[in-house]
Amino acid sequence: MKRIMKRQVWQLVVLLTVMTFGLLHTIDHSYPSAHALCPFGGLATLYSLIERGEFIHRVHSSAVFLLLAVLVTAVFAGRAFCGRLCPFGTVNEWVHRAGRKLGIKQRFELPYRLHHTLRYAKYLVLVLVLYYTWTAGKLVYRAWCPWSAFMTIFDPAEIVEDIMMGGLILVILLLLSLFIERFFCRYLCPLGAALAVFNRFGVVKPERHERCVQCGLCERVCPTRIEIRKTYKVRDPECIHCYNCITRCPHKGSMSLNFSRLQPHVAGMLVVVLFAGTVAASVAAGYWERGRTLSSITGETRTIEEVHETLQDIRASDSLEDVSEKSAVSLEEILSVLGLPESTSPETTVRDVTEETGYSRRDLLIMIDELMREEGETR
């Protein structure tokens, strides 16, 4: 039973689950996209949801309830989601472990002053992303989001055409993770920044006791480089509640949770139960969406496999004039369905349109496909 409750087991379960959905989304576009399975998507759409009662494009109700589930776990144990359930954090952590096994044995650390300064970068990322997303009403960060790139690894063409910068950033982050454990989590993750405040107010927290012999092992095994020996109550915003400082301490009674009878593996399991329970409750209440495509605006959901084969030739570098010729749909109708002004240049590329509207190339293909079918029915 204790083995099943281990942190790594649930990290693997969550990672495999989201990767399965990533594969399903590639095969059938009616399954949730990366942003529909990201709690940060719930935060990104919050302003639009409150102001207009609408989700921004690509974000489903699932993201909002995932955010709620994360907040429930945060009230209980701070940033425990980061250390126990976040799939992207898991990838970064395991890449670092793989690096150690490949011979990168020396743990590289930035000078402490630089490390301390860079920790605040994620708060800047959080503010900038939310500001521009909320004011623009679309996922302005999608093109360079490493999570989007990770969730489309089963479809390299989409990475190349829609989120090449995100793919490049993903590769850079993973390379950095070989040397610096959880580089993204420490310095750049906006969700981690949003959850940091809960480390002070969460119910469960690690504590160091007076019998500690100051051996320093707790700091060496801490993935986010917290100076544990300088405090007795670990309230640092960087703590991801992995509890390595407790489980790997060689001196019994030196470290524990503030509820001394609560064992770390039990606390971790309670985090999983709270998260899964919140998600299950939202599903049971009918608030969870399996997925949607833009073609659902006509009352019918179609997958990319059902789109006319001729549209598969449309590339991100094609102009709207090229799209019109390949699809045999007038430029005026294409501009209308995409919500673009009539004055839009015919030389505007598909990539330009995706950046302007937030739609992906696949979304555009599905919309144009519907136009083709409508024209076919009127002939």
pLDDT single digits (tens) 74-103 = 999 999 999 999 999 999 999 999 988 887
* pLDDT at residue 35, as a whole number: 76
**How far, in Å, CA of 151 to CA of 34, rounded?**
6
Phi-psi region of 78 (alpha: psi -120 to 50; beta: other; left: phi over 0): left
Q: What is the pLDDT of residues 130-147, one digit of tens each?
A: 999 998 887 888 888 899
Show Cβ contacts of residue 264 under 8 Å, excluding neighbours closer than 6 positions: 243, 246, 247, 257
Helix (H, G, I), strand (E, B) or coil at 234: coil
Helix (H, G, I), strand (E, B) or coil at 349: strand
Q: What is the pLDDT of residues 23-34, one digit of tens each?
A: 887 776 667 777
pTM for this model (two decimals): 0.78
**How far, in Å, CA of 359 to CA of 94, rounded?**
33
Structure tokens at 305: 């496999």
Q: Which of 309, 322, 308 is nearest to 350 (CA)?
A: 322
